Copies of this chain bind each other. A is one copy, B any other.
Amino acid sequence: MPAADRQPRIIALDAMGGDHGPEVVVPGAALSLERHPDIQFLLFGDEARIKAALARHPALAARSTVHHSASTIASDDKPSQAVRRGKGSSLWLAIEAVQKGEAEVVVSAGNTGALMAISKLLLRPIAEIERPAIAALWPTIDAECIVLDVGANIGASPSQLCEFALMGAAMARALFHVERPSVGLLNVGVEEIKGNEDVKQAHAILKEIADLPIDYRGFVEGDQIGQGVVDVVVVEGFAGNIALKTAEGTAKQIGIYLKDALGRSMWSRLGAFLAQGGFRVLKKKMDPRRVNGGLFLGLNGISIKSHGGTDALGFASAIDLGYDMAESGLLARLAADIAAFHGRLAAAKAS
Task: Give 1 or 0 for each of A258-270: 1 = CB within 8 Å of chain B CB.
Answer: 1011111101111
Tell me, yes or no, whether A274 is within 8 Å of chain B by CB: yes
Complex CA gap A254/B279 in Å reads: 12
B196–A223 CB distance below 8 A: no
Chain B residue nearest in CB terms to A195: B154
Minimal beta-carbon separation of A114 from chain B (angstroms): 13
Check B241 against A222 for contact (C-beta < 8 Å): yes
| Secondary structure dominating the interface of A | helix
Q: Does A4 lie at the interface of the complex (its beta carbon under 8 Å from any beta carbon of B)?
A: no
Indicate whether A277 sits within 8 Å of B256 (C-beta atoms), given known contacts A155-B196, A272-B271. Answer: no
Q: How many copies does the complex hold?
A: 2
Q: Which of the four size classes fits the interface of chain A?
A: 35 or more
Is A176 an interface position by the 8 A CB rule?
Answer: no
CB of A276 closer than 8 Å to a CB of B: yes
Q: Is the CB of B195 within 8 A of A238?
A: yes
Determine whether the beta carbon of A278 is less than 8 Å from that of B272: yes
Q: Which residues of B contact A278 (CB under 8 A)?
A: 261-265, 267-268, 271-272
Given contacts A257-B282, A258-B282, 19 further A-B contacts (CB under 8 A): A140-B253, A141-B253, A154-B188, A196-B238, A221-B242, A222-B242, A222-B247, A224-B249, A227-B249, A242-B242, A242-B243, A257-B285, A257-B286, A264-B281, A265-B278, A270-B275, A271-B273, A271-B278, A275-B275
9 A-B residue pairs with CB within 8 Å: A195-B238, A221-B245, A222-B244, A226-B246, A239-B239, A254-B286, A265-B278, A267-B277, A270-B275
